[in-house]
């Protein structure tokens, strides 16, 4: 593993954070199939009526936002 890449599962402070340099963490999430339940049988979101969110998605996104 490249020593310059931080483990994304590790929420401990980065070396720059430990040194007092403030940085902002960023999380990129692919919404289709991750936040939004893709509707069978086509599994395509081609209309707003097909959008349904996974249960608890907003709760977990709120928790992630507060980290």
Q: Where are the domains of the chain?
A: 29-67
Nearest Cα to Cα of residue 31 among 56, 14, 13, 53: 53
Q: Is 2 a catalytic residue?
A: no
Catalytic residue among 2, 10, 30, 46: 30
Q: Place 10 in a pLDDT band, splitting at 50, 70 and 90.
A: low
Span 16-64, pLDDT tens digits: 777 777 677 777 787 777 888 887 888 888 888 888 888 998 998 888 8
Record the pTM.
Answer: 0.49
Identify the H or E element spanning 53. strand 52-53
Residue 3 has pLDDT above 70, yes or no: no
């Amino acid at each position: 593993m490249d020593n310059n890449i931080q483990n994304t599962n590790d929420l401990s402070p980065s070396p720059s954070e430990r040194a007092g340099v403030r940085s902002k963490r960023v999380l990129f999430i692919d919404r289709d199939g991750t936040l939004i339940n893709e509707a069978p049988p086509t599994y395509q979101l081609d209309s707003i009526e097909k959008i349904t969110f996974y249960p608890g998605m907003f709760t977990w996104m709120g928790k992630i936002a507060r980290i």
